[in-house]
Structure 1
Amino acid sequence: MAGMSPLFRRRAEPRERLVTLVRKPGCHLCDDAELVVGKVCGDLGVSWEQKDITEDQALYDRYWEQIPVVLIDGEQHTFWRVNEQRLRRALTE
């Protein structure tokens, strides 16, 4: 694309994203986070998963005081309360 104006550059292909909700049973904040994550990921066609902190010692050690925790592509995005607009923005940038 040498000599081509920046206005005519090809857009990068969207990449596959994965959102992970780290949670525990009986956690009302986790239930709230699940609703937001499910809605945003459903709207955007983004894959998501849930992991139970009580079944994974490494997650327990790292996130016990912060759950629910939302990871995007393995990197921590937020914890405790999930803001729908912030999550949506992070997944579309």
Structure 2
Amino acid sequence: MSTVTLYGRPGCHLCEEALEALQRVRSRTPFTLEQVNIETDDTLHKRYLERIPVIYVDGEHLFDYEVDEHALQQRLVYRGGR
């Protein structure tokens, strides 16, 4: 099962929208979801603050700012079929 990681911070409206999109995709194609609050780590905060939300799938960077649900679904199905 793939792992999707969402880097964001509390109060980020784009992060909330990304989480909702991830949950919609997850209802069709299961994956493990990890949420990382960039405010708890100075390095992550510096790296991602200007581009959150940032989404990775199995350690590979896929999206900044918003989630392309169709592209994510395709990626998860492709990965799952390997």
TM bucket (normalised to shorter chain) is 0.7 to 0.9
Residue equivalent to 1:53:
38
Give TM-score scaled by structure 1 length. 0.77
Question: Max radius of gyration: which structure?
Answer: 1
Gaps of 5+ in 2: none
- Richer in helix (by share): 2
Q: Secondary structure at the match of 2:25?
A: helix
Deviations 1:5-24 (A, max 9, x none): xxxxxxxxxxx210001111
**Which stretches in structure 1 are left out of the alignment for 5+ residues?**
1-15
Higher relative contact order (CA 8 A, sep 6+): 2
Aligned to 1:92: 77
Q: What's the RMSD between the two structures over aligned residues? A: 1.1
- Residue of 80, 84, 89 corresponding to 2:65: 80
Q: Distance between the aligned counterparts of 1:56 and 1:40, measured in 2?
A: 28
Question: Residue type of the partner of 2:20?
Answer: L
| Structure 1 position 30 matched with structure 2 position 21 | no
Aligned residue pairs, count: 78
Runs of 4+ in 1 over 3 A off after TM superposition: none
Question: Identity over aligned residues, as a percent?
Answer: 37
CA-to-partner distance for each residue in 1:18-72, whole Å, 9 max, x for gaps? 0001111111111100001112123211111111010122221221111000011
Q: TM-score, normalised by structure 2?
A: 0.86
